[in-house]
Amino acid sequence: MNDVPTPEASFDTLGDRAAGGDGRAEAVLFEELRVRFLTITKRRVQPDHVEDVVQDALRIILGKYRERSRDCGLLVWSLTVLRNVIGNHYQTRRRETERTTQVEDWQRIGEETPGKDPSGGLDHDETAGLLENAVAELARRSPRCGDIFRHILESHERGGGQREISQRAFETVCLEHPDLTRNTFYVALHRCRAQLRSLMDRMETGVGHA
């Protein structure tokens, strides 16, 4: 179905090469992003708007990826851009519907508009606040998970390249949990993440005051 060759390097490496002027790397990178964006967007946006949303997101990424902060990986960052574009798409549609709705029909707007953003809709501040609460709760419930996240984030805080951050985090976690190997560390981290996501979901849906 798709005859674009599989990239030979990670998104971040492709991004670095593209930023350095490698046109082929840039083409491969954006094709890889496009394929994934289509998969995600098709599940959230009406079919006739999918291509527009994906192109909008790719346009923003093309304009910003060279200057973006290296705090998180290129794909994760790109997905946050797509998320915002999908959110904006729903907001725009809601405003359009409100503009064209007769005044006497205004009460029905909430039921009739396609304005509910299925991407979730928490803004940056809300996400940060929810994350802090969930991380604190996770650490109370599972001190081991708290330790794992703490060591990783402390390593990020100290800075350095990917290899340095990763190695330092792994070694400090191993000081407290010497039974871990590199892969069991990743598995343990993945399980902690699942718990964190579950807490965030429950906190988000359990919030009593919208």
- Expressed in angstroms, the distance from the first to the final Cα of the chain is 44
User: x/- site string to another protein, residues 49 to 88, per CB under 8 A?
Assistant: --------------------x-xxx-xxx-xx-xx-----
| CB-based burial label for 60 (10 Å; 0-12, 13-18, 19+) | middle
Please tell me the distance from the alpha carbon of residue 74 to that of residue 65, in angstroms, as a whole number: 8
CA distance linking residue 28 with residue 18, whole number of Å: 9
Told to check if 132 binds another protein by CB under 8 A, we report yes
Contact between 22 and another protein per CB under 8 A: no
Considering only 91, 110, 133, 176, the residue that binds another protein (CB under 8 A) is 133
Residue number, 99 or 140, with CB nearest to another protein = 140
Taking CB under 8 A as the rule, does residue 142 contact another protein?
no
Query: By CB under 8 A, is residue 30 in contact with another protein?
Result: no
Report the C-alpha gap between 110 and 136 in whole angstroms.
35
Q: Provide the minimum distance between the beta carbon of 189 and another protein in the complex, in angstroms, as a whole number.
A: 4
* Shortest CB 106 distance to another protein, Å: 25
Report CA-CA distances (Å) from 60 to 53, 54, 80: 11, 10, 11
Q: According to CB under 8 A, which one of 24, 43, 64, 116 is a site residue for another protein?
A: 43
Determine the Cα–Cα distance for residues 15 and 65; give it in Å rounded to an integer: 8
Q: Is 143 in the site for another protein (CB under 8 A)?
A: yes
